[in-house]
Amino acid sequence: MDHGAASYRRFLDGDDNGFVEIVRVYNDGLILYLNSFVNNISVADELAEDAFVKLGVKKPRYTGKSSFKTWLYAIGRNVAIDYIRKNAKEKTVPLDDCAEHTEEELLESRYIRQEEKIMLHRAMNNLKPEYRQVLWLVYFEEFSHREVAKIMRKSVHAIESLVSRARQSLRTKLHEEGFEYENL
C-alpha cells in the first residue's frame, strides 16, 4: 500500500497529522527534484512549499492511477513550470557559483570524492533542463520510466529515449571536464 496515499486520505478525513507525514516524507526529495528546474535550492524550497500548499488548500483528487509520490511530483512539476513561465525574464545565479568549496584539512580520498561530486553537479547543471529532470527522477529519486512518463507527461518510449540521450550528454560533459566514470 502506498503510505503517502494513506496519509493523504487521513488528511482529507480531517487528520492533520496525515498532511504532516506527507511533508516530512516527501519534502526533501521534492525540493531536490524542483531544483533541477530552477537551479536554485532556495527557490526550489519555496516551490515545494507552494506544491504542499496547493495540496493542503485545494485538496486535489488523488485517483490512485499512479503512486502517490508520482502524483505529488507531477503537482510539483506544474508549480515549477508556472514559476518558470512567470519569471522567464529573470536571470538567476546557481548556488554553486556563490558558495566556496574550500576545506583545507580533507583527506585526499575525501577531497577527490567531493571534487567528483562537484564535477557531476556542474555537468548536470550544463545539461538541458529536460535532461537534468529525467536523470534526477530516474537515478536519484529511483522512479520507474512509467512513473517518470506520468510526471513529465510523455510516453514511456519517449522517456527511455530521453534517458538515453541525457546519459550520453552527461557522459560527454563529464569527459570534457576530464572525468571518467565507467558505470554512467
Residue 100 has what pLDDT?
Answer: 42
Q: Among the listed ranges 19-23, 123-127, 146-150, which one has the minimum average pLDDT value? A: 123-127
| Mean pLDDT value of segment 9-27 | 90
Residue 64 has what pLDDT?
Answer: 84
Q: Where in the chain is the domain with CATH 1.10.1740.10?
A: 3-86
The CATH number of domain 3-86, selected from 1.10.1740.10, 1.10.599.10, 3.40.50.720, 1.20.58.480: 1.10.1740.10
Long-range contact set of residues 125-130: C-beta below 8 Å, sequence gap at least 24:
125/39, 125/94, 125/96, 126/173, 127/166, 127/169, 127/170, 127/173, 128/166, 128/169, 129/36, 129/37, 130/162, 130/166
Topology at the third CATH level for domain 100-176: Arc Repressor Mutant, subunit A (1.10.10)
Return mean pLDDT, the chain: 81
Written as nine digits, the cell of 9 is: 486520505
Q: Where in the chain is the domain with CATH 1.10.10.10?
A: 100-176
